[in-house]
Amino acid sequence: MSNLDGALTGALTRRQDQSLYRRRAVVGSPQGVEIRRDGRPLLSFCSNDYLGLANHPAVIEAFVGAAKDFGVGSGASHLISGHSSAHHVLEEELAAFTGRERALLFSTGYMANLGVINALAGRGDAVFEDRLNHASLLDGALLSAAKLLRYRHNDTEHLQRQLDNTVARHKLIAVDGVFSMDGDFAALPALARCAQKNAAWLMVDDAHGLGCMGENGGGSGEHFHLAPEDIPILVGTLGKAFGTFGAFVAGSDALVETLIQFARPYIYTTAMPPAVAAATRVSLRLIQGEPERRSHLQQLIKMFRAGCELIDVGLMPSDTPIQPLLIGDSQRALDLARQLEAKGFWVSAIRPPTVPRGSARLRVTLSAAHSQQQVQSLLAALAEVAGEC
């Protein structure tokens, strides 16, 4: 074995021994409720395609049409020659949708979070983050020269104490709107008040709220009836409820200009393909024009929660399409996921370090594309596997 491979094998073996080893399943069909995984048909309850738009005919048609008009690759970064009219119009539409002055596309949500935090916070500044924030928000702060302080999950008093003790010049509070592995909302009204009182800047990553929460799909802010000024820095991703790919930041003209000048993950990367932007414009139209997707999803969430109350499955509190079942032990979570798979269901076991140690879970996600009957069939399967262990 080479020196390199010898050095790597130890950590790989340890990961396996801890039941934390990751494996990829190979999908041989479009995303959707009925999916082919490693050659086998399964009913999927694990994707973030919350509105069923990833394989929507109108979105596909826009994508194909734009590929014919614009080609596939964007050819360069946005600041060189890669910023197409398809990108530009989508940015204007996203700004209008979110009620902000401007919006700026990023190639991924991970890069948007790295870019925003590093453009806004540096030496002498502090970033305050919920302990359960998405890895990209945490990595963004770790990569910056600012100090990172993590407060207990949704504990605004803990955050206030940290703010009381800071001498930082700029204070950035960065939080998930909906926590990706827990499904609960951030306490946004309290955080907005806290930010205003302490002259801190509030940044909300609404990857799991935008499109599916709020009456008009406006996300966590709309859910809590907050004004755009309450959330001056809004990050949205396009790979989840929008069903396409990429991300955007919405806010003031000054914010967007700052990102264009200083956000390195914006500047030093190739623009997303214009056809992705064109497809996303159709997704946005569906999000705005078909509220019945959201109301059906809400019905499914209520039905799933009511069904889980009848079986002992560790359902966590959540009003969103993310409905995790707390298991605890990583191996047990894997075993349960395998038993569900044997019954024809794909539910993913989420383990550390994605979630805190000892809190492995089955992360059930619901989609507007599920039927009531499909959700009932998952409940029946859960009742059986819960009884077996």
Ligand X SMILES: *Cc1c(COP(=O)(O)O)cnc(C)c1O
The residues that touch ligand X, with contacts defined as CB under 6 A, are 108-110, 113, 134, 136, 176, 180, 205, 207-208, 237, 239, 247
Report d(CA 271, CA 286) in Å as an integer. Answer: 24
CB-closest chain residue to ligand X? 109
By CB atoms closer than 10 A (0-12, 13-18, 19+), residue 262 is middle
CA distances to 12, 106, 150, 329 from 359, in Å: 21, 32, 19, 7
Cβ of residue 33: shortest distance to ligand X, in angstroms?
20
240 belongs to the catalytic site: yes
List of residues 6+ apart from 374 with CB closer than 8 A:
33, 43
User: Per residue in 133-150, is it b (16+ CB within 10 Å) or e — as a string?
Assistant: bbebbbebbeebebbbbb
Mark whether 296 is an active-site residue: no
Check 240, 330, 367, 370 and give the catalytic one.
240
Contacts of residue 77, defined as CB under 8 A and 6 or more positions apart, other chains included, come to 267, 268, 269, 270, 271
Q: Which of 56, 208, 296, 370 is catalytic?
A: 208
In terms of DSSP bridges, do strands 233-237 and 247-251 run parallel, antiparallel, or are they unpaired?
Answer: antiparallel
Nearest distance in Å: CB 273, ligand X = 14
DSSP sequence for 113-146: HHHHHHHH--TT-EEEEETT--HHHHHHHHHSSS
Nearer to ligand X, 239 or 274 (CB): 239
Shorter beta-carbon distance to ligand X: residue 87 or 134: 134
Helices (H), 57-108: 57-70, 85-98
Q: How far is the CB of 249 from ligand X (least distance, A)?
A: 12
Q: How far apart are CA 84 and CA 77, in angstroms?
A: 10
Shortest distance (Å) from residue 202 CB to ligand X: 15
Catalytic residue among 47, 74, 180, 283: 180
Q: Which is nearer to ligand X, 52 or 209 (CB)?
A: 209
**Residue 154 CA to its chain's centroid (Å):** 18
Smallest gap, in angstroms, from Cβ of residue 132 to ligand X? Answer: 10
State the Cα angle at 232 between 228 and 236, rounded to 5°: 85
The nearest distance, CB 55 to ligand X, in angstroms, is: 18
Query: Toward ligand X, which CB reaches closer, 134 or 223?
Result: 134
**What spatial distance separates the first Cα and last Cα of the chain, rounded to whole Å?**
41
Q: Residue 139 Cβ, how far from ligand X at the closest point, in Å?
A: 10
Residue whose CB is less far from ligand X, 136 or 320: 136
What tokens were used for 358? 């000892």
47: tokens are: 């994707």
Q: Of 47 and 374, which CB lies nearer to ligand X in the complex structure?
A: 47
- Dihedrals phi, psi of 323, to nearest 5 degrees: -125, 80
Nearer to ligand X, 134 or 294 (CB): 134
Give the active site residues: 180, 208, 240
